[in-house]
Structure 1
Amino acid sequence: MHDSTPLLTWDIFCKIVDNHGDLGVCWRLSAQLAAQGQRVRLWVDDAGALPWMAPGALEGHWPGVQVMPWRQPMSALDLEGLPLADVWIEAFGCEVPAEFLARFMPAVESTGQAPVWINLEYLSAESYVERMHRLPSPVLQGPAAGQTKWFFYPGFTPRTGGLLREPDLEARQAAFDRTAWLAAHQIAWHGERLVSLFCYEPKALGGWLNQLAQGPEPTRMLVTPGRAAAAVQAALSGQQAQREPPQWGSLSFSYLPYLPHGAYDELLWACDLNFVRGEDSVVRALWAGKPFVWHIYPQDDDAHHAKLDAFLNWLDAPGSLRHFHHTWNAISPEPLPVPDLPVWHACVQAARERLRLQDGLASQLMQFVAEKR
């Protein structure tokens, strides 16, 4: 942290929807702000994933980050003795609770110094992101009527808020030893192709596993726990892979436990091809620089189709990678193509180089707050 960087207190509000991504992004942001000397209170309504995602977080072992229970409704006891923060962040469409505003707005009105209030939006490569980034949003009703929120959009281009990136990420990856990491995680590896699987329930999964099993190249699938593992077991129902050791033709399986954030990065570095899902892991896949396929979060109105295509356009995805994404995300009924890993790798490497030229999300948020204060 530079001497000129003010030490501020940040309230970050995170409401869990149905997966780990919201908490993953909010935790990474909290940890990165704290690493730059900021004080963060992370308000979360379900912190059940933090013990494996960030061991020690609930016990207060991460300097600068305090995990706060977001009970609904908030009680006076939850807020007793807390000073007014310098920044309020509403992550992913959640709202600062009315009880919280009622507690702190008198102090805002008496001092005339309001926190910088940020609406941190979802990640997208669509064109509206650049138009909406940093725009004001007046608060028209409730205890905070008359205040202003600011839209802040993460993104992939210089006219957006950037992506979360730790300052030591490249150094960590450069020092990574794949063989030692696999051995430490008791993954039997004999030089075969390694593929990580973190997904929802793609309809194309069974066909993909069959393609690997019948293919000429030995492949080991490293399956993450939860929905991905359940999807694999459902796809393999009745197959030979249900036996021990798990093996089906050219395809073998290793089922992983939940991994802390740092170890998940290392999983991506260890693999030759990564399947990721949602927002947090696709960013980590980009920084890993390995070929990857993104299972975008599905929406009932199919709005994710345009969102995926905008991302593939930004990525400058070659035809085979675009085709694979469309089938994997149930946009196209065509069979999955055979991955062209050298071409996919070159594509991701070029995208990562573009991203390296931009400031990260945490740094941009700090710069924005400094401007508004």
Structure 2
Amino acid sequence: AWVSEHHALSSPHPKLPLVKYFFFPGFAHGTGGLLRESMLGAQRDAFLSSRAAQSTLWYRLGTQPLPDALRVSLFAYTNPALPALLAQWRDGATPVQCLVPQGPAAQQAAAWFGAPAEQVAPGTSLTQGNLTLQVIPFVRQENYDELLWA
């Protein structure tokens, strides 16, 4: 809530005749807004209304959406907080399908599951409690929006 109160406020330098201004991006009125591609909304709507486009995405990822699961895309580097997050999802009341591209986070997550390092290839699926972690191929930047929409 404080962002709109502080956006665009001046910050004079204490010794020099310089004035900086705070800029806070955001969706709320009184913030600096956010940049996005002009056709992104239409592309999202087209993707969400096309079973074929969604099926193509899942095929490229080598998996399928799990029914009634919260789908999460986990793109990260090795992180000391990751084990606690995975435990929270495992022990939570909601089924979670965590899609993680092969790489450092997938290796760390697989180790948390107790899986051998060779099981960190795309197509790997590991489940404990309400958490299903699925290793997916690395998604190119231009296709990442589809993953987020899905």
CA distance in 2, matches of 1:152, 1:211: 37
Query: What is the Cα deviation at residue 188 of structure 1?
Result: 2.9
Gaps of 5+ in 2: 48-52
Q: What are the residue-to-residue correspondences of 1:202-281 with 2, within 5 Å? A: 202-209=83-90, 220-226=97-103, 228-237=105-114, 246-248=125-127, 253-270=133-150
* Secondary structure, aligned partner of 2:21: strand
Percent identity, aligned pairs only, is 31
2:50 maps to what in 1? none
Letter in 2 for 1:159: G
- What is the DSSP-based 3-state SS (H/G/I as helix, E as strand, rest coil) of the residue aligned with 2:98? strand
Q: TM-score, normalised on structure 1? A: 0.30
Structure 1, unmatched stretches of 5+, are 1-125, 271-373
User: Which portions of structure 1, spanning 4 or more consecutive aligned residues, are displaced by more than 4 angstroms?
Assistant: 242-245, 249-253
Whichever of the two has the greater Rg, that structure is 1
Asked if the contact 2:73–2:147 (Cα under 8 Å) also holds between the matched residues in 1, the reply is no
Distance 1:171 1:222, change over 3 A: same
SS of equivalent to 2:84: coil
1:197 paired with 2:80, answer no
Distance 1:152 1:229 in 2: 35
Post-superposition offset of 1:140? 4.6
How far does the alpha carbon of each residue in 1:291-318 deviate from its partner, in whole angstroms, 9 at most, with x for none? Answer: xxxxxxxxxxxxxxxxxxxxxxxxxxxx
The answer (yes or no) to whether the contact 2:124–2:134 under 8 Å persists in 1 is no
For residue 150 of structure 1, what is the amino acid of its counterpart? Y
Deviation, structure 1 residue 138 = 2.4
In structure 2, relative to structure 1, the CA distance for the partners of 1:258 and 1:146 (3 Å cut) is farther
Cα deviations by residue, 1:216-265 (Å, 9 ceiling, x for unpaired): x7x753113455324421320159xx598534378654323443433221
Q: Verify the 8 A CA contact 2:83 2:109 in the aligned structure 1.
A: no
CA distance in 1, matches of 2:22, 2:55: 44
Structure 2 counterpart of 1:151: 22
Task: Measure the CA separation in 2 of the matches of 1:233 and 1:246.
Answer: 10
Q: Distance in 1 between matches of 2:58 and 2:112?
A: 25
Describe how 1:34-45 pairs up with structure 2 within 5 A.
none
**Residue 204 of structure 1: CA displacement?**
3.9
CA–CA distance in 1 between the matches of 2:133 and 2:84? 19
Alignment of 1:92-107 (within 5 A): none
Whole-angstrom distance in 2 between the partners of 1:238 and 1:226 = 15
Describe the shift of the 1:148–1:174 C-alpha distance in structure 2 as closer, same or farther (beyond 3 A). same
Structure number with the bigger relative contact order (C-alpha 8 A, sep ≥ 6) is 2
Aligned-partner SS, 1:153: coil
SS at match of 1:152: coil
Count of matched residue pairs: 133
Q: For the Cα contact (< 8 Å) 1:196–1:224, is it kept in 2?
A: no
Q: Distance in 1 between matches of 2:33 and 2:83?
A: 29
Equivalent-residue separation in structure 2 for 1:252 and 1:179 (angstroms): 20
1:133 aligned partner: 7
Structure 1 residues 236, 211: CA separation in 2 closer, same or farther (over 3 Å shift)? farther
Verify the 8 A CA contact 1:197 1:228 in the aligned structure 2. no
CA 1:226–1:202: 2 relative to 1, 3 Å? same
1:256, 1:245 → 2: CA distance?
Answer: 8
Paired position in structure 2 for 1:181: 57
Equivalent position of 1:170 in the other structure: 41
